[in-house]
A and B are shown apart, each in its own frame.
Chain A
Amino acid sequence: MPISGLVITFDSPVDQCTEAIDALNAMTEVEIGNQAEHKLAIVVETESKEHDRKIWESVQQLPQVTDVAIAMVAFDEEIARERAPKAGASCTAEQCSIGGSRQHS
C-alpha cells in the first residue's frame, strides 16, 4: 500500500504547465501540494507497488516534466509499525545493557 512524496521538476514555471497540472488533477491517486518556480510537490497513494510505479511512470511522461524525485516512500505498513526507533528517556544503564534487537547468526 505505497504512499510516496514526490517532487516534479518541469521545464517551465509550474503555472505554465497547465496540461500536466490538469492531468495530475485528473489522477485520483495524486494529491497536489506546494509549488515553487519549476518544482511541484505531490503525494501518490495507491493500492499496490505495481500501481504506484505505473503512476510514477505516467507522471514522468507528462508534458514538460524533466525529473521526478522521490522525497519519501511509505514502504510497508506492517514493518513500519514494528520498527520504531528505540524508545525511552535518556538511555539508562539497563537500556544499554539490553541493547538493540540485533540478530546474530
Chain B
Amino acid sequence: MKTLNTDRRQLMKTAAMAAAGSLVTGGVSLPVVNADQAVGELPAGEGLSWNKAPCRFCGTGCHVQVGVENGRVVAIAGDKAADVNKGLLCVKGYHVGGILYGNDRLTKPLLRKDGKLVEIEWDEALDVIAQRIMKSPETFAFYGSGQWTIPEGYAAQKFMKGGLSNNHIDPNARLCMASAVTGFIATYGVDEPAGCYQDLDECDVLITWGNNPAEMHPVLFSRVTDRRSRGEKVTIIDIGTRRTRTTDAADDYLEMKPHGDVAIALGIMHLLIENDNYDKSFVEKHCNFRALEAATPTLKGEAITEDEYRKRIAKYTPELVEELSGVPAEKIRMLAGLFANRDRRITSLWCMGMNQHTMGTAVNSLVHGVHLMSGHFGRPGDAPTSLTGQPSACGTVREVGTLAHALPGGRLVAKEDHRQQCEEFWNLRAGSIQGVPGYHTVKMFEQFTKPTSEGGDITTMFVQVTNPGQTLPNLNKLFNSKQGLEDKFLIVSDVYPTASTELADLILPAAMWVEKNGVYGNSERRTQQWFKMVDPPGDARDDTWMTIAIARKLFDLGHEGMKDNDGEFIFSVKDETGKEIPIWEFEHYYDTNVDKHLFEEYRQFTTMKHKNLAPYDEYVKARGLRWPVVEQDDGSWRETRFRFSAFDDPFVSEGQEFEFYHSTSQDGRAQIWFHDYTPPPEQPDQEYPFWLCTGRVLEHWHTGTMTRRLSPLNRAMPTAYIEMNPQDAKAANIRQGETVVIETRRGKTELPVWIDGRGRPPAGSVFVPFFDETKLINDCTLDEHDPFSKQPDYKKCAARIVKKTAAG
C-alpha cells in the first residue's frame, strides 16, 4: 500500500475534523449554523432567508433549517424546534444541502436514438411516453419510491389505478419494508408502528434485532446514548450477524446465524409459556393465537387455541434455539427473563435485517408476539418498532398505498367495495379500477426483462425517484438482461446519471428536495411538509408535474380513463373563479399549490383506517404531526403518539385500556402468531462456503447517487469493500486492501478487502455495502422473497471469495 502524500493526509485530517466537529458544534463544507441558533435565532442577513424541511435522506425524518441566498442553498442547520432531532443532525444531514449541486445534474430530457442519447425538448418526451401508453396501456408499468413525496405517489396512484385501469405500480419500498407491513397487518390488522420515538427516551432496555441504528439512524440512536451520558441506565442488547458500531455501544451482543432471529423469538415465547410468566391478563383481554392455514396460507391465518399454541412452540427449547440460531441457550433464557419482568420497559428496533428476509412476515409477527405475550406493549418505552430507510416509505408507500395490491387509505384493489369507494372519491366510472393486483417489484422486472415472445408482458416501464439498476437483487436477471430487447422501453426520471439511466431509452431530468414542494411521512407516523425554496437547474422538473403532464397528453389523445364522470381531466385544478389552471404546462404549474390540492383530495381517504390527517395548512405550521390527527372542540388539531392505548389514542372505546380496532379477528384483539422455523433457501456449501450479507454504511445513503457527490462523504468512504474475518483472510492468504472477486451462483464483482474493519463479521461470513455503482454487489444477491410481502432477502446467500490472480 502506498503512503499518502502530505497534502492529501492533511486534507483528510481537515475533513475528518470538520465532520466530527460538525456533530459537536457545526461547521462542514456548507456554512453550517450551530443547532442552538436554529429557529428565530438564525442569522438572516441581507438576502438570506430560512425555511424548514425534513432531511432528504433516511426515514428518521429529522428537520433542517435551509438557508437560501440568491436562489441557492447556502446553509443548513439542525432544527431546534423539531421534536424528532431537537437540532441534531447526522453527518449526512449536515451535508444535505450539497446534494443539489453535483456537477453532473441532469438538465435536459435525453432520448436514445440509434443507440445514442440525444437532447430533446419536454414536449417530445411527453409525446413519446403518451404514444407508447396509448398503444399498449396494459403493458405499461410505473416503478416508484419511498422517496416519492406523498403528492407524487398519490398522483402516480390515481394515474395508474384510476386513469389507466392498470395496477402495475409498485415502489422500491417493496425491497425495504414490505415485510414490516405484512407483519403489522397480520398482527394488528393495520399497518405501521403503534408507538413513536418517545419509546427511545423511556425504555430501560433497547433490543436491536439485526439492526445497526448507530450508523443507519444515528440521530435516533443518539437519543439513547445521550440518555446514558446524562447518567440514565439504558441496557442495549444487540442481536446481529456481525459486530457493528451498535455492538460497540451494547451491553450484550448476541451473535446469531443468518435466519436465527426466527428461532430466537420462538425461544423467548417458549420460555415465557414454559415458565408461566407471560402476561396472562394482557393476553386474555387483548390477544388471540394464530397460525397459517394448512391449505392456502394468508395473512389472516386461522385461530388456534392457547393449548395448541403451547404444543406447537414446545419444541423451541433454548437448546434447539441455540442449535438453530447459534446464540447460547443461557442468552435465550436471559432474554426471556427480561421480557418476563414487567417493571422494565423494553423497546425492540428493527429495519432491513428482519425485513429483507425470506421469513420476513413471520419474524416481524413473532417479535410483535413476544411483546404482546409479555405485555411489553402500549406504554411509553414498551414497543415493537420497525424503522424505515427512506424518507417517505411510510407516508407515500404504506399510507398512500402505492403498492401493486393497494389503494389509498389502506384499501385493497381485490375488494369490490373498496374499489367502488375509491372510484366514487375520484369521480370515475364504475369498474375503472381493476380487481387483480398488479405485479410486485420482482415480478414486474422479471416481466420487463423477459422477451415479449416468451411472455414478458411489460413493455414500457417508467421509473421515478429510484435506482433499480443498482438496488434490485440478482441484477443480471432482473435488470441487466433488458439490454438488447428492442421492444422494451425504459423511462427514468432522476437528478443524476445512475446505474439505471445507463440502460434507459428516455431520461427525464427531475427537480429534487427543496427545488419543489413536498410532503413526507416518516417512521413514527409523522407527516412533514415543506415548500419549494430554489429553482431546479436547466429543464429539470417536478415528478408530480411529469405524471400530470403525461396524463394530460393522454387526455388530449382521447384516452377515456383520463376523464372523470363529468368529462373533466382527472387532475383538473380550478382557480377561485372556476377557471381551470393548466397545471400540465410547467410555466403554470406553480400558479397554484398543486401539492395542496392533491393532499386535500388524498386526505379524505385517511379516515378509513384511522390514519386521519389534518388539513395541509396545519402541516405548514408544524414540524410534522403524527397521525391520527384529530380536530378538537376548540378547532385545534391533536396528534397521537401511542396508538391502541386509551391514554393517548382517541379511537379506543371508552372503558378499554387497549383496543386493536382494526383486528383481523374483528374482536378488538391483536394476534400472537406461531410460525415454524424454516431454513434459508440458499446456504453455504463446499462450492460457495461463505454467507454474504449486504447493507449500508454511515457515510452513504442507499445507492450513493446523492452522497457520492458530496466530496467530504465520498472521500470518507470512496468505495465499496468486502468485510472479512481475519481467520478467513489468513486461511485464504488474502491481505488487507487486496482486491478479490466475490462470486455467487448469479454473478460476481471485484472488491477490496477490509479485514476486521468497521463491521466485524464472524468466520465464514462476509459483508458488502451496496452504495457503490462501480461495484454492484446486487449482481450477486438472491431474488428469493418472502411469500407474503414479496420482499427479497438481501441478507443471506452463499458466496465464494477468489483471489484476483486465481480468478484470472
Asked if A pairs with B, the answer is yes
Which of B24, B112, B718 makes the CB contact (< 8 A) with A36? B24
Which of A11, A74, A78 makes the CB contact (< 8 A) with B715? A74
**Is the CB–CB distance between B774 and A83 below 8 Å?**
yes
Q: Is the interface of A mostly helix, strand, loop or mixed?
A: mixed
Q: B297 near A: Cβ within 8 Å?
A: no
Stretch at the interface among B102-110, B158-166, B342-350: B102-110
Instruction: Pick from A9, A71, A74 the residue with the most CB of B within 10 Å.
Output: A71
Q: B8 near A: Cβ within 8 Å?
A: yes
B744, closest chain A residue (CB): A105
**Is the CB–CB distance between B717 and A75 below 8 Å?**
yes
Contact indicator per residue, chain B 1-25, by CB within 8 Å of chain A (1) or not (0): 1111000110011011111111111
Which of A67, A70, A72, A84 makes the CB contact (< 8 A) with B15? A72
**Is the CB–CB distance between B13 and A71 below 8 Å?**
no
CA distance in complex: A38, B23 (Å): 12
Interface bracket on A: 35 or more
List, in ascending order, chain A residues with CB within 8 A of B755's CB.
49
B299 CB to nearest A CB, Å: 37
A9, closest chain B residue (CB): B229
List, in ascending order, chain B residues with CB within 8 A of A74's CB.
12, 15-16, 715-716
Q: A31 near B: Cβ within 8 Å?
A: yes
**Is the CB–CB distance between B1 and A78 below 8 Å?**
yes
Q: A27 near B: Cβ within 8 Å?
A: no
List, in ascending order, chain B residues with CB within 8 A of A23's CB.
none
B562 CB to nearest A CB, Å: 31
A100-B20 contact in complex given A49-B736, A69-B218, A70-B698, C-beta closer than 8 Å:
no
**Is the CB–CB distance between B719 and A89 below 8 Å?**
no
Q: B85 near A: Cβ within 8 Å?
A: no
CA distance in complex: A50, B754 (Å): 11
Instruction: Pick from A88, A94, A99 the residue with the most CB of B within 10 Å.
Output: A99
CA distance in complex: A92, B241 (Å): 43
**Is the CB–CB distance between A72 and B19 below 8 Å?**
yes
A84 CB to nearest B CB, Å: 7
**Is the CB–CB distance between A34 and B24 below 8 Å?**
yes
A43 CB to nearest B CB, Å: 5
CA distance in complex: A49, B756 (Å): 8
A residues 36-68 touching B (CB-CB < 8 Å): 36, 38-43, 45, 49-50, 53, 60, 66-68
Q: B684 near A: Cβ within 8 Å?
A: no
Q: B750 near A: Cβ within 8 Å?
A: yes
Instruction: Pick from A33, A35, A75 the residue with the most CB of B within 10 Å.
Output: A75
A80 CB to nearest B CB, Å: 4
**Is the CB–CB distance between B104 and A88 below 8 Å?**
yes
B27, closest chain A residue (CB): A34
List, in ascending order, chain B residues with CB within 8 A of A10's CB.
229
List, in ascending order, chain B residues with CB within 8 A of A9's CB.
225-226, 229
List, in ascending order, chain A residues with CB within 8 A of B719's CB.
75-76, 79-80, 82-83
**Is the CB–CB distance between A93 and B502 below 8 Å?**
no
Q: A77 near B: Cβ within 8 Å?
A: yes
Q: B501 near A: Cβ within 8 Å?
A: yes
B758 CB to nearest A CB, Å: 7
A41-B497 contact in complex given A5-B15, A67-B225, A90-B107, C-beta closer than 8 Å:
no
**Is the CB–CB distance between A84 and B714 below 8 Å?**
yes
Instruction: Pick from B117, B119, B774 the residue with the most CB of A within 10 Å.
Output: B117
A45, closest chain B residue (CB): B13
A58 CB to nearest B CB, Å: 14
Instruction: Pick from B16, B229, B715 the residue with the most CB of A within 10 Å.
Output: B16
Q: B381 near A: Cβ within 8 Å?
A: no
**Is the CB–CB distance between B12 and A97 below 8 Å?**
no
A96-B117 contact in complex given A66-B228, A103-B776, C-beta closer than 8 Å:
yes
B residues 347-361 touching A (CB-CB < 8 Å): none
Q: A95 near B: Cβ within 8 Å?
A: yes
**Is the CB–CB distance between A71 and B103 below 8 Å?**
no
**Is the CB–CB distance between B20 and A75 below 8 Å?**
no
A3-B502 contact in complex given A34-B25, A95-B497, C-beta closer than 8 Å:
no
Q: A91 near B: Cβ within 8 Å?
A: yes
A11-B231 contact in complex given A41-B21, A78-B737, A93-B118, C-beta closer than 8 Å:
yes
**Is the CB–CB distance between B103 and A102 below 8 Å?**
no
B658 CB to nearest A CB, Å: 35
CA distance in complex: A3, B754 (Å): 15
CA distance in complex: A32, B93 (Å): 23
List, in ascending order, chain A residues with CB within 8 A of B757's CB.
49, 75
**Is the CB–CB distance between A103 and B774 below 8 Å?**
yes
Give 7 CB contacts A-B under 8 Å: A5-B15, A7-B20, A71-B23, A72-B16, A75-B719, A89-B104, A104-B476
| A-B complex: 3 closest residue pairs judged by Cβ atoms | A5-B16, A5-B20, A99-B502
Given contacts A49-B756, A71-B23, 20 further A-B contacts (CB under 8 A): A3-B16, A5-B18, A5-B20, A36-B25, A39-B24, A41-B25, A60-B248, A66-B229, A72-B16, A72-B712, A73-B716, A74-B12, A77-B2, A82-B718, A91-B107, A96-B497, A96-B501, A99-B501, A100-B502, A102-B773
